[in-house]
């Protein structure tokens, strides 16, 4: 069963929760916008359904509601940011702004982040660059739930990558994807719906394929993009590893199996190799390569040609970002569906802070 809520209602409720956690009005407003943007874009696994997880991390004193976010190392085109254990929903936009400032000054900007937390959907941060005629990139490491190809040990996170590229008349190209066959949040949704997972998403603790969405609770693991070696899981493993290195090894955050878990009931590693979670952001000024209008016109041609590629009967060729953009318009107008277990979570959160949901 689903309940429909307006974007405004979910955003305002989320903002009030963050304020009650001790965040400033500015940070709470930004964090709520970033979080609920996932629901607007149809990425329900990373939106309001995650709010109770942030509250539990705060209760476990693993989120600092009043962080002093700062640059700890920089060059004209690069920086390392220390998030001071703040909400990744706030730390990430701060770091992306720095990347864009550096790109504005010297053509490109690259920022690696340590000591942060879960930052919502990667696409939000990459898309920040679009308004400035820049190409944006965002990635992050995450809780170690993924077994490398041929392993039974969980070593990597779902480690998403997002790239946003501006066009002129056409909507922007926005790719935002996990480097696993499916994000962990999708398993959580299946658990709440009492549905099975497709083969290729997860394996049991012995490395055998499984359809049980609860498998991770018994030592199982998510699988890299591709699912198995025959379908290219070694490529998904490589992509996840690249994200981990750029986000964490480069910044000084925890990497690989030392990355802190999103769930508060799992303990932090007793021998951390860094500080918090890590992110990585890039901004490239289009006119550092060629006139922006020319590039965007060519992007229109690229997008139009691919969108009109001959399709399999009954299907249509999509451009990365199409489904999310269409969902954004639909849900902004008609409301956001929230499944009953998430509604219950929100009511529990509301009761905790004496709020209404």
In tens, the pLDDT along 271-291 reads 999 999 999 999 999 999 999
Residue 236 host element (H or E):
helix 233-244
**Sequence-ordered list of residues with C-beta below 8 angstroms from that of 287, at least 6 positions apart, any chain:** 133
Q: Tell me: the pLDDT tens digits for 47-105?
A: 999 999 999 999 999 999 999 999 999 999 999 999 999 999 999 999 999 999 999 99
- Residue 298 above 80 pLDDT? yes
Q: Sorting pLDDT into bands at 50, 70 and 90, what band is 128?
A: very high
Show the beta-strand stretches assigned E in the chain.
2-5, 70-74, 78-82, 108-116, 134-140, 161-165, 173-177, 202-203, 209-210, 221-222, 277-285, 336-339
Contact present, 37 and 124 (Cβ < 8 Å) = yes
pLDDT for res 192: 80
pLDDT for res 227: 94
Q: Give percent of the chain above pLDDT 70.
A: 100
Q: Sorting pLDDT into bands at 50, 70 and 90, what band is 189?
A: confident
Please compute the mean of the pLDDT values over residues 312-319 and round it to a whole number: 96
Closest CA to 158 of 133, 131, 127, 188: 188
Same domain, 155 and 37: yes
Same domain, 208 and 197: yes
Residue 103 lies in a domain: yes
pLDDT for res 210: 95
Same domain, 243 and 213: no
Please compute the mean of the pLDDT values over residues 186-201 and round it to a whole number: 87
Same domain, 54 and 110: yes
> Of 242, 273, 288, at which residue does a domain stop?
288
pLDDT for res 267: 86
Residue 302 lies in a domain: no
- Residue 353 above 80 pLDDT? yes
- Residue 130 above 90 pLDDT? yes
332: left (phi over 0), alpha (psi -120 to 50) or beta: alpha
CATH classification of the domain holding 211 = 3.30.60.50
pTM, two decimals, is 0.95
Domain assignment of residue 100, given as a range:
2-181+223-288
Same domain, 10 and 63: yes
- Residue 185 above 80 pLDDT? no
- Residue 194 above 90 pLDDT? no
- Residue 313 above 90 pLDDT? yes
Based on the structure, what is the number of domains in the chain? Answer: 2
Summary mean pLDDT of the chain: 96
CATH classification of the domain holding 141 = 3.30.1370.60
Closest CA to 59 of 22, 33, 103: 22
In degrees, rounded to 5, the angle at the alpha carbon of residue 110 between the alpha carbons of residues 44 and 80 is: 90
Please compute the mean of the pLDDT values over residues 191-197 and round it to a whole number: 88
Q: Tell me: the pLDDT tens digits for 28-40?
A: 999 999 999 999 9
Same domain, 63 and 211: no
Among 11-15, 134-138, 337-341, the range scoring the smallest mean pLDDT is: 337-341
Same domain, 35 and 96: yes
């Amino acid at each position: 069963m689903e309940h429909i809520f307006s974007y405004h209602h979910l955003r305002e409720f989320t903002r009030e929760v963050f304020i009650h956690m001790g965040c400033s009005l500015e940070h709470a407003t930004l964090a709520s916008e970033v979080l609920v943007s996932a629901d607007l874009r149809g990425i329900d696994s990373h939106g309001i359904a995650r709010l109770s997880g942030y509250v539990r991390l705060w209760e476990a004193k693993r989120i600092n509601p009043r962080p002093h976010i700062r640059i700890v190392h920089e060059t004209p085109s690069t920086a390392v940011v220390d998030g001071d254990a703040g909400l990744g929903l706030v730390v990430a936009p701060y770091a992306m702004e720095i990347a864009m400032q550096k790109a504005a000054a010297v053509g490109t900007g690259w920022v690696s982040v340590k000591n942060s937390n879960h930052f919502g959907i990667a696409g939000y941060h990459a898309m920040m660059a679009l308004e400035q005629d820049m190409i944006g990139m965002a990635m992050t490491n995450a809780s170690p739930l993924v077994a490398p190809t041929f392993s039974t040990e969980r070593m990597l996170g779902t480690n998403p990558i997002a790239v946003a590229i501006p066009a002129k008349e056409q909507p922007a190209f926005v790719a935002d994807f996990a480097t696993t066959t499916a994000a962990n949040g999708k398993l959580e949704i299946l658990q709440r719906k009492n549905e099975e997972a497709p083969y290729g998403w997860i394996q049991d603790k012995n490395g055998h394929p499984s359809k049980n969405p609860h498998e991770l609770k018994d030592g199982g693991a998510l699988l890299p993009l591709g699912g198995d070696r025959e379908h290219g899981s070694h490529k998904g493993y490589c992509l996840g590893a690249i994200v981990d290195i750029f986000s964490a090894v480069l910044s000084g955050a925890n990497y690989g199996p030392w990355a802190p878990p999103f769930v508060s009931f799992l303990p932090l590693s007793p021998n951390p190799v860094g500080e918090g979670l890590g992110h990585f952001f890039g901004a490239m000024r289009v006119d550092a390569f060629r006139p922006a209008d020319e590039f965007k016109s060519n992007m229109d041609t690229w997008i139009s040609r691919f969108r009109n590629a001959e399709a399999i009967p009954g299907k249509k060729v999509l451009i990365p970002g199409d489904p999310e953009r269409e969902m954004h318009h639909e849900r902004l107008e008609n409301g956001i569906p929230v499944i009953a277990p998430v509604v219950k979570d929100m009511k529990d959160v509301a009761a905790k802070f004496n709020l209404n949901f």
